[in-house]
A and B are shown apart, each in its own frame.
Chain A
Amino acid sequence: MPTTAKAAAPFPSSGGGGPVRAAVPVARTGLLLVAVSIAVFTATDVLPGDAASVRATPGATQEQVAELRAQLGLDRPAWRRYADWAGGLLTGDAGTSLVNGRPVADAVAQRGAATTALVGGALLVAAPLMLLLGWWAGAARRTRGVVTAVLTGAAAIPTAVVASGLAALLSGALGLLPAVSLLAPGVSPLRSPELLVLPVLSAALPTALFGAGLLSGAVADTLRRPHVADARRRGRPAWAVACVDVLPFLLAPFARVVAISAGGLIAATTVVETLFGYPGLGSLLVSAVAARDVPVVQAIAMLAALVVLAGLLAADLVAAAVSPRRTGPLGEAR
């Protein structure tokens, strides 16, 4: 979820300067994934309201619920249920939905394509936008305070507000776009791209503002480096300074910010998809939470965590690979 710049600055992946071997971050990501799986399992399975009480017909007696619980294997110790569940996930078996009895993996695969289109489209819009806005904010001199205030304020607006504001403007007041997706599950959203405009913009704008706030600090730091002033004094044109002297120093923070934003973007899909009736994983997660369909919630939560952690890992590796500091002065780095 997008927050203000200060909020995400000390993110775990932001440490680790200098040469980092790939094995350490990979192992850390694996450990984090195990920890997240335990947390997800605890929150959904061990806390009150288990699968048996969801499945039991209304008015079922205590004995009937207990029988169902035994039938579902819920009377076994938690650690054994966790082991079974985690083992299933590793082999691609996410269990069956408590609501319709169908394999969770099928439903996730079916909805996954639509969410991939949404998240991919939003990243395509948000990434260049956050670089431009972040650069603008970081490079502003006299107006820096005003610019960062505008960015901070705008980044605080909840996704729900951005999405409904855009809908009220573009589809309500101006009548340009349909407000509700009306896309049948399983139909590729690429077939009717106009339905993607509102969801993609709604997810991309808060992400871009949030990322821009994080990037502006890195831009300002880079611009203050001596070699940038040097290049300017030597008479190098502004565009060349930007491309050769500034941009390479921004690649590592940019990769990290994109990875952090991807996490917020995945969370934002729940709001955006639900609001616009877009049949993706986010809306599936929301309906599964409402129905207490625990296996579906667990599978989607783990998938989202996997994507977030993989993104952070990728950003760490990219940062280690492109960091100009490792290869000395910039001239030799490129």
Chain B
Amino acid sequence: MRSVPVAAVVLALLAAAVGGPLLAPHDPTGVVAAAWQAPGPGHPLGTDGLGRDVWSRVLAGGRDLVATAAVAAVAASAVGVAGGLVAGWAGRIADQALTGAADLLLAVPSLLLALVVAVAVPGRAAVVVATVCGGAPLTLRVVRDAVHDVRHAGYVEAARARGERPASVLVREVLPAMRGLVAADLGLRLVIAVQIASALGLLGFGAAPPAPDWALMLRENMPGVAANPAAVAAPAAALGLVTVTLALAVQTAARHDGGPR
């Protein structure tokens, strides 16, 4: 299981994002110095437009974003896996109805969907809806194909011959065979959920000021980018680090667990 170190890196990163607020040296929302100060002693990343410590805000700014993305990714994966199991197992009609619906959902970019949904519901719910609508169809297709591959495997036939119900065959026999696939897929959904959450946050539909939030910081600190580039570069780097690490972890996990690719 070479995916163990990968999982450790990802967990450490997520723990840092979630536990970051505890490490902040200053109050992330408190005014501590003059506005737009370049990095210097006491303020390793300088200050933002209201004189708040950028380092403290970067440490505190990932928790809600990552938590929202995690909820959205789990929801998308769960819906997609359930749909894929049914589409792969049930007859032609259910299969075609489900994959047809999935194709339809895929025709619209997720971010556009998130924005349209954000008219009616809060930003976090929009992230979840868009991640599910944009991600579950892809999960569904991957899982459906995997179910097709194993549905006539010996151990599955044996379970059916024992007279087990379809639901129990799917959950006890088919699903465990796909755990690498499902793990890699969950990681991908997480990457996409972070992308959607950061876009919505930057557009002003995520955290509300003065809360620290990486995406919101990008937008707030853009006017002062000439005075203190670190105020923009630091939250951008934090977001980039999370998404790139997740994407690479997905690739590694998929390669070692015999998942996609």
Contact = CB atoms under 8 A, between A and B. Distances in A.
Interface of A: 1-4, 6-8, 10-12, 32, 35-36, 39-40, 43-44, 47-49, 148-149, 152-161, 164-165, 167-169, 171-173, 175, 179-180, 263-264, 266-268, 270-271, 274-276, 285-286, 289-290, 292, 294, 297, 301, 304-305, 308-309, 312
Interface string B217-256: 0110011011011101101110110011011101100100
Contacts of A48: 120
B236 A161 contact: yes
A172 B231 CA distance: 10
B103 interface: yes
A171 B225 contact: yes
A267 B251 contact: no
A318 to B, nearest CB: 18
Contacts of B120: 43-44, 47-49
B232 A180 contact: no
Contacts of A171: 225-226
Given A275-B202, A304-B112, A12 B119 contact: no
Contacts of A274: 202-204, 219
Contacts of A297: 115-116, 119
Contacts of A36: 107-108
B198 A6 contact: no
Interface stretch (B55-63, B85-93, B148-156, B188-196): B188-196
A313 B261 CA distance: 28
Contacts, number: 198
Interface of B: 103-104, 106-112, 115-121, 134-135, 138, 141-142, 188, 191-192, 194-196, 198-199, 201-205, 215, 218-219, 222-223, 225-226, 228-230, 232-233, 235-237, 239-240, 243-244, 246-248, 250-251, 254, 260-261
Contacts of A168: 225, 229-230, 232-233, 236
B232 A309 contact: no
A7 B109 contact: no
Q: Which residue, of B117, B201, B240, has the highest number of chain A Cβ atoms within 10 A? A: B240
A153 B248 contact: yes
A266 B243 contact: no
B188 A6 contact: yes
A-B pairs with lowest CB-CB distance, top 4: A172-B229, A47-B120, A156-B247, A267-B111
